[in-house]
């Protein structure tokens, strides 16, 4: 954040108090904050508080001639690397979506070409109202980054989606948006739909036992999150894992390969599909009741049935996304086998990782990965890096390919 400037627009909601903590976090990381307070916002926090925390003048009125002489409202927004509207109330987002400019905050939001992030906070009914849904969709189409609110108890006593995310989470999103040069990343995948599969599938043997592959789901979840950050509308079809849904991603939970196949089909059409899931190759004829030990006078016989290959099926379907990417976990001849898989499965890219030996064990369930990206043009081998970075790099490459 060193030397980066955030213009923080504070709307009128009880969550405004959390923006005070956000200022502290940005300052602590070396960033600067200029605050613009709406009339509503000033009912919840005072200009004095914000001035003390930001150590800068706080702007409240469009008609403050002294400020206009010193720093016009247009310049105020253009000096910033990123504008953060936090909390973004239903009213403020409605005005932004409609292009209304009737106070300092809305005027500078209309007068700027600086990237804007809105952090909504409101009552659950207001968040779910058709008008707010429409406004959020419109803002996203316009390129505004609208974060997803948290779910939980609300100041008004109700429970649901609409809570402002914790300041640390908002700060994390701001950091992500600012690349190393401090310029806010573009949203090259805005308007694109991506389908990602992740995690293992569980194939029941009976109500208490199942067949599965080893997969934590981390790489697939990171890819879904990275695509969403670049503006894509992401559907994540997930097997049973214990991971938090990345912000802004629509998650569909499934258990078996057949359910995953149906959920992927349901999510289409898509511009890109990245199938990261470790789908079980076989399923068993599942017993409706628990098989008792020694029941069949010995060990039970499992008759395995081959599961559909979702990736291969998708590549042949008339709903095939323009860009189809498979993953491959191999223990030997990693690149050779992956190249063969590219042809066999009919996908455009294969991302291959080596899961042999102790290194492989650290890939499965670990936080790092070292991958080879195989395309018709050749092989690119990436250095070992955190799965989050693999995801970001891959998402950027996808954005280039779809541009």
Q: DSSP letter at 191? A: T
Q: Interface with ligand C5P by CB under 6 A: which range of 17-25, 101-109, 155-163, 308-316?
A: 308-316
Shortest Cβ distance from residue 210 to ligand C5P (Å)? 16
Shortest Cβ distance from residue 274 to ligand C5P (Å)? 8
The CA-based dihedral angle spanning residues 291, 296, 301, 307, taken in that order and rounded to the nearest 10 degrees? -30
Closest CA to 179 of 398, 403, 396, 345: 396
Q: How many chain residues are in contact with ligand C5P, going by CB under 6 A?
A: 14
Closest CA to 55 of 22, 24, 99: 24
Shortest Cβ distance from residue 400 to ligand C5P (Å)? 21
Q: Residue 300 to residues 217, 290, 293, 297, 305: CA-CA distances in angstroms?
A: 31, 12, 8, 8, 16
Residues 175-214 that bind ligand C5P (CB under 6 A): 197
User: Which SS3 state, helix, strand or coil, does residue 119 take?
Assistant: strand
* 49 counts as binding ligand C5P under rule CB under 6 A: no
* 354 counts as binding ligand C5P under rule CB under 6 A: no
Shortest Cβ distance from residue 300 to ligand C5P (Å)? 24
Tokens 């954005």 sit on residue: 399
Of the candidates 136, 205, 232, 277, which one interacts with ligand C5P according to CB under 6 A? 277
CA distance 14 to 94: 18
Residue 86: active-site member: no
CB nearer to ligand C5P: give 132 or 197.
197
Q: Residue 79 to residues 71, 73, 145, 203: CA-CA distances in angstroms?
A: 10, 10, 19, 56
Catalytic residue of the set 20, 35, 156, 347: 156
Of the candidates 83, 275, 342, 374, which one interacts with ligand C5P according to CB under 6 A? 275
Of the candidates 37, 145, 184, 279, which one interacts with ligand C5P according to CB under 6 A? 279
* 326 counts as binding ligand C5P under rule CB under 6 A: yes
Q: Is 359 left (phi over 0), alpha (psi -120 to 50) or beta?
A: alpha
* 310 counts as binding ligand C5P under rule CB under 6 A: yes
* 311 counts as binding ligand C5P under rule CB under 6 A: yes
User: Which SS3 state, helix, strand or coil, does residue 65 take?
Assistant: helix
For residue 92, what are the contacts with CB-CB under 8 A and spacing of at least 6? 9, 11, 12, 38, 85, 105, 106, 118
Q: Interface with ligand C5P by CB under 6 A: which range of 16-24, 33-41, 111-119, 271-279?
A: 271-279
CB nearer to ligand C5P: give 8 or 276.
276
CA distance 219 to 48: 45
Closest CA to 388 of 227, 249, 248, 242: 227
Q: Interface with ligand C5P by CB under 6 A: which range of 45-53, 173-181, 323-331, 375-383?
A: 323-331
Of the candidates 257, 323, 352, 391, which one interacts with ligand C5P according to CB under 6 A? 257
List, by residue number, the catalytic residues: 156
Residues that bind ligand C5P (CB under 6 A): 197, 257, 275-277, 279, 281, 307, 309-311, 326-328
């Amino acid at each position: 954040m060193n030397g980066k400037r955030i213009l923080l627009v504070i709307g009128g909601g009880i969550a405004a108090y959390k923006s005070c903590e956000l200022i502290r976090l940005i300052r602590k990381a070396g960033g600067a904050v200029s605050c613009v307070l709406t009339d509503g916002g000033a009912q919840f926090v005072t200009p004095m508080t914000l001035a003390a925390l930001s150590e800068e003048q706080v702007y409240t009125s469009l008609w403050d001639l002294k400020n206009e002489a010193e720093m016009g409202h247009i310049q105020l927004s253009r000096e910033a690397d990123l504008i953060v509207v936090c909390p973004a109330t239903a009213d403020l987002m409605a005005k932004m979506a409609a292009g209304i400019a009737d106070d300092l905050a809305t005027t500078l939001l209309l007068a700027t070409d600086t990237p804007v992030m809105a952090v909504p906070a409101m009552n659950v009914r207001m968040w779910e109202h058709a008008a707010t849904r429409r406004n959020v969709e419109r803002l996203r189409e316009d390129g505004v980054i609208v974060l997803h609110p948290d779910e939980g108890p609300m100041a008004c006593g109700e429970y649901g989606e609409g809570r402002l995310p914790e300041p640390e989470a908002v700060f994390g999103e701001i950091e992500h948006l600012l690349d190393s040069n401090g310029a806010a990343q573009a949203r090259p995948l805005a308007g694109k739909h991506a389908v990602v599969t992740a995690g293992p599938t569980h194939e029941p043997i009976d109500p208490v036992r199942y067949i599965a592959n080893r997969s934590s789901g981390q790489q697939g979840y990171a890819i879904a999150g990275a695509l969403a950050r670049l503006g894509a509308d992401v559907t994540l079809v997930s097997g049973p894992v214990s991971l938090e849904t990345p912000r802004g991603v629509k998650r569909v939970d499934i258990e078996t390969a057949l359910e995953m196949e149906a959920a992927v089909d349901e999510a289409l059409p898509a511009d890109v599909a990245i199938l990261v899931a470790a789908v079980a190759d076989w399923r068993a004829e599942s017993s409706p009741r628990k098989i008792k030990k020694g029941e069949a006078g010995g060990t039970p016989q499992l008759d395995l049935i081959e599961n559909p290959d979702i990736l291969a099926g998708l590549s042949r379907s008339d709903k095939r996304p323009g860009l189809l990417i498979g993953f491959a976990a191999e223990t030997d001849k990693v690149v050779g086998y992956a190249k063969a898989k590219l042809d066999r499965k009919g996908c455009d890219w294969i991302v291959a990782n080596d899961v042999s030996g102790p290194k492989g064990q650290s890939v499965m369930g670990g936080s790092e990965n070292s991958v080879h990206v195989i395309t018709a043009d050749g092989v690119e081998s990436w250095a070992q890096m955190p799965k989050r970075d693999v995801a970001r790099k891959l998402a950027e490459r996808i954005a280039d390919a779809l541009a």
